[in-house]
């Protein structure tokens, strides 16, 4: 949803700047992906939409679920980031934040995303050759996802 991307962009950019300054882009990417999975759970979405839960309770719930179920170990900055999202009613856009963060990270690293659509499943060797050809053609690293249609 375009509106969610608009809401998520400043948070993704802030997380990116914080991660970049701490030389922790990969760690933040992993944490945001994990938090995105937590926020995307139906029971968590129900809690996020519950007006009886305070922002502090929502943030703590999200942190507890991330620690217990996904075994995420968050730094103080990452925990504060979750609290800021909860305070501003933005936990629901964590999937978009994670996606935008990864786009910024890939831009920093010179990596381009490519979605390869094929009529049949590609074996590992074929995919590797295709990615190598794309990297030569575009002069950058390619992170490919394959979709069979």
Buried b / exposed e across 5-38, counting CB within 10 Å, b at 16+?
A: eebbeebbeebbebbeeeebbeebbebbbbbbbb
pLDDT in tens, 21-70: 999 999 999 999 999 999 999 999 999 999 999 999 999 999 999 999 88
What is the CATH architecture assignment of 2-108?
Answer: Orthogonal Bundle (1.10)
pLDDT above 80 for 1:
no
Q: pLDDT category, 114, cuts 50, 70, 90?
A: confident
Mean pLDDT of the chain: 92
- Listed by start position, the domains of the chain span 2-108, 111-148
pTM for the complete prediction? 0.79
């Amino acid at each position: 949803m375009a509106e969610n991307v608009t809401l998520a962009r400043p948070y993704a950019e802030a997380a990116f700047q914080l991660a970049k300054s701490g030389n922790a882009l990969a760690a933040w990417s992993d944490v945001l992906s994990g938090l995105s999975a937590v926020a995307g759970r139906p029971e968590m979405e129900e809690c996020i939409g519950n007006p009886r839960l305070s922002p502090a309770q929502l943030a703590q719930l999200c942190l507890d679920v991330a620690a217990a179920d996904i075994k995420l170990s968050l730094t103080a900055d990452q925990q504060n980031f979750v609290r800021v999202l909860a305070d501003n009613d933005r936990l629901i856009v964590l999937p978009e934040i994670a996606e935008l963060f990864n786009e910024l990270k890939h831009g920093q690293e010179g990596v381009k995303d490519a979605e390869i659509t094929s009529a049949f499943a590609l074996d590992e060797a074929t995919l590797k050759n295709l990615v190598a050809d794309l990297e030569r053609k575009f002069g950058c690293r390619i992170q490919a996802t394959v979709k069979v249609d």
